[in-house]
Amino acid sequence: MSSLKNELSSSDFEVEAQGSERHSQLQSKHRLIGIVHSSRIALTVLALAAGITILGVSANGLLVYHETYLPAEFYLSLWPAQFDLRPTAALIAGGVIVTVANVVSLFFSKVQALRSLTGPHAIASIAAPAIGFIASLVAMSLFYAVNTSSTVDSLQSWTCRWTDVPTTAQPHFGALCKQSQAGVILSVLLVPLEAAILGVAGYQAILERKATKA
């Protein structure tokens, strides 16, 4: 009888030990998911800031151009008669899409009611950086594809050519040149950044799926 009690107590101890070990493993998985999630949020915020900056500096350059442009018959034009605005338009479009995609991603990540819905949350967390990655890649590619002309100036090539000319009113070519360069640099950096967010989001989705099945 005593041996039976010993066996039962030993069995209970093993069950408790296994349960404790499983609980510890589950906590470790959730801790890892939390770290990965926080990393994705931080990267997304960084990408959002870059997208807003690209949109701001590119849109400002385009606005200044339209405000200071004079038709050729005035003979006082500050801008060339043949002017290619497509590189700037590509950066603006890319900035808009990246900004919206990252806002949607952060919205789904922060709203608890949406996070509890694993399906929509996982889709948004992966789809948003995927859209941002494609948009930043296309914007950068279009910028360099249409900015290669040696005969037709773009906003960046024209403003950077006259960056040393002092002006007391708009357009300030030096400031516009620096803004344009900053937009291009950020658009280049956005490509690997969005790719990193996409990779982290995919890894988080895998971890969450495993934790759900556990």
Q: Which sequence spans correspond to the domains of the chain?
A: 2-213
Give the gyration radius of the chain's Cα atoms: 27
Q: Which residues pair with 153 in a beta bridge?
A: 83
- Binned at pLDDT 50, 70 and 90, residue 165 comes out as confident
At 22, list the tokens. Answer: 């499983």
Beta strand spans in the chain (E): 83-84, 153-154
Q: Which pLDDT belongs to residue 23?
A: 58
Q: Which pLDDT belongs to residue 19?
A: 55
Looking at every residue in the chain, the average pLDDT score rounds to 80
Q: Which pLDDT belongs to residue 13?
A: 47
Range list of H helices, 69-117: 86-110, 112-115
Residue 109 predicted with pLDDT over 80: no
Q: Give the span between the Cα atoms of 101 and 124, in whole angstroms.
A: 9
Q: Which pLDDT belongs to residue 12?
A: 52
Q: Which pLDDT belongs to residue 72?
A: 54
Q: pTM to 2 decimals?
A: 0.79
Average pLDDT of span 111-125: 56
Angle, helices 2-68/173-213, rounded to nearest 10 degrees: 160
Q: Which residue has the higher pLDDT, 123 or 40?
A: 40
178 phi/psi in degrees, rounded to 5: -65, -40
Average pLDDT of span 40-56: 93
Residue 126 predicted with pLDDT over 90: no
- The b-or-e profile of 57-78 (16+ CB within 10 A means b, else e) is bbbebbebbeeeeeeeeeeeee
Q: Give the span between the Cα atoms of 185 and 140, in whole angstroms.
A: 9
- Binned at pLDDT 50, 70 and 90, residue 182 comes out as very high
Q: Which pLDDT belongs to residue 213?
A: 67
